[in-house]
Amino acid sequence: YGAGSWGTALALQLARNGLQVWLWDIDAEHIKQLEIARENTRYLPGVVLPDNIHCSSDLAEVAGKSDQHLIVVPSHGFRALLKQLVPLVQDGGQIAWATKGLELDTGKLLHQVIQEELPGSDYALVSGPTFALEVAKGMPTAMTVAASNQAFGQAMAQAFHGDNYRVYTSDDVVGAELGGAIKNVLAIAAGISDGLGFGANARAAIITRGLAEIMRLGTRMGASPETLMGLTGVGDLVLTCTDDQSRNRRLGLALGEGKQMDEAIAEIGQAVEGAKSARSVGKLAKREGVEMPICATVYRILYEELSPRQAVQELISRTRKSEVQ
């Protein structure tokens, strides 16, 4: 569910493995163009959709085709889509998602939203250091499936695993979720630093101290340190903070160069999860009593008109303390 760049890329990987894949999107005109052109000209031009990818804007039709459902919509539309799926998903339906974010208004993790809307369903998160275009082209990739039960996790891993696509499994859904959501906020910070021209040293400091923020919140919430140091944590963090394929990093670059947030997001032309996650991560950190100064500073830049240059100075001038606490 969701025919943006990431949803289409994952559909392509599943189709490579010989599966019949139904690709849904709320935008009927977009779906029509996918069917006519047999490529996602809006988000992944030049990548041909094989015949075993079927496109539809009819949610009931698509939901009725399988017991396994993969949601790839922005976090702000996640609960709304689940509510629509409730009467369409059979008892025992299995829900997976590849959205990297938290619920905006509540700061809840997305597996908690699934538990509220579809109690009793098996669920799994598909995450890791992955860019849509590289997955769409079949380039070498590794990711993790973190699931509520082993059988569903193994089934999802088998569905994606291929010659150039290595899939690991995990039972640490919380850790995988937090890594994927927080790294988007930190990628904005890394982009801001580079946009200001602060160089590689500053970027490395942001990545490293940002990882410390992920570790503090993750361990407070019961996540495994090994998960946070794995593909869905440090792997995704490094990728997103260092490569301009990242929409979150590109937003940060634009802010560092003096552009306004709305202008920058409009130029990017797709959802920038980190801009919303800056709000929800802040709510979650406050609720858990965890200090996350880099994430908090990104929030202030985005929503309280703090200048990027002043923000960096404030971070640097914070009271000295031990690196490890």
Question: Is residue 129 scored above 80 in pLDDT?
Answer: yes
Please choose, from the candidates 76, 96, 74, the residue with its C-alpha nearest in 3D space to the C-alpha of residue 85.
96
Helix axes 110-117, 173-195, angle to 10 degrees: 140
CA distances 145 to 70, 152, 297, 319, Å, are: 12, 9, 31, 39
Confidence bin at 205 (pLDDT 50/70/90): very high
Please choose, from the candidates 117, 66, 110, the residue with its C-alpha nearest in 3D space to the C-alpha of residue 87. Answer: 117
Contacts of 154 (CB under 8 A, 6+ apart): 169
Give the type of residue at 119: P
Distance separating alpha carbons of residues 49 and 15, to the nearest angstrom:
9
Selected residue with higher pLDDT from 33 and 320: 33
Q: For position 67, what pLDDT does the model report?
A: 81
- 128 three-state secondary structure: coil
Class of residue 261 by CB neighbours under 10 A (exposed 0-12, middle 13-18, buried 19+): middle
What pLDDT is attached to residue 92? 65
Do 241 and 203 touch, CB atoms closer than 8 A?
Answer: yes
CA angle 133, 138, 139 (to 5 degrees): 80
What tokens does 226 get?
A: 């090994």
Q: How confident is the model at residue 116 (pLDDT cuts 50, 70, 90)?
A: very high
Q: Is the pLDDT of residue 325 over 90?
A: no
Pair 205, 194: CB distance under 8 Å = no
Alpha-helical regions (H) of 196-292: 199-220, 225-228, 236-242, 247-256, 261-268, 273-288
CB of 160 within 8 A of CB of 127? no
- What is the mean predicted confidence (pLDDT) over 92-109? 93
10 or 317, greater pLDDT? 10
- Which pLDDT value is given to residue 180? 98
**pLDDT tens track for 275-297:** 999 999 999 999 999 999 999 99
Question: Which of the two residues, 186 and 312, has the higher pLDDT score?
Answer: 186
Query: For residues 306 and 17, what is the distance between their CA atoms, to the nearest angstrom?
Result: 48
In tens, the pLDDT along 44-57 reads 999 999 999 999 99
Domains in the chain with CATH codes = 5-173 (3.40.50.720), 175-316 (1.10.1040.10)
Point out the residues that are catalytic: 183
Separation CA 14–CA 112 (nearest Å):
26
pLDDT-above-90 percentage for the chain:
92
Cα–Cα distance, 266 to 270 (Å, whole number): 8
